[in-house]
Amino acid sequence: ASLAEAVALFGRIIAGQTAGPLIHPVSALLVDGLTETVAGALLVTAMPAAAWWDGGPWLCDLFVAPTHQGAGIGRQLSQLMIAGCAEGGYERIGLSVTDGNPAERLYRALGFARCRSVFVIEKAG
């Protein structure tokens, strides 16, 4: 995606237009103090209940800038989110990850388990 598309996407997430309102206490923006650039972010929303989800914290996006990957930042942000959700009385945290995404290893190591798969066809016919 282009920078403009990324800014628009994150703007919608932060505004609560994607998956419910942002849960500020368990979301984070990590800035590299030396370069004053974004090193990573974790955006958690209050996803409303649906037929497949009881509602509650949803890890809407987690990323670490390429120059900061491999240092455990994603794991640390995730652990802080999990602890914050537990302190907030939440019993469940959801997320979605594409099959084959290396982040799935991290999520499994943190205790997340696959509960469903989704198949989609676009522009059928």
Each residue of 22-70: pLDDT tens digit?
999 999 999 999 998 889 999 999 999 988 888 999 999 999 999 999 9
Give the pLDDT band of residue 1 (cuts 50, 70, 90).
Answer: low
Mean pLDDT of 94-106: 89
Return the residue matching tokens 């016919």: 125
pTM, two decimal places:
0.84
Nearest CA to 60 out of 91, 30, 96, 29 is that of 96
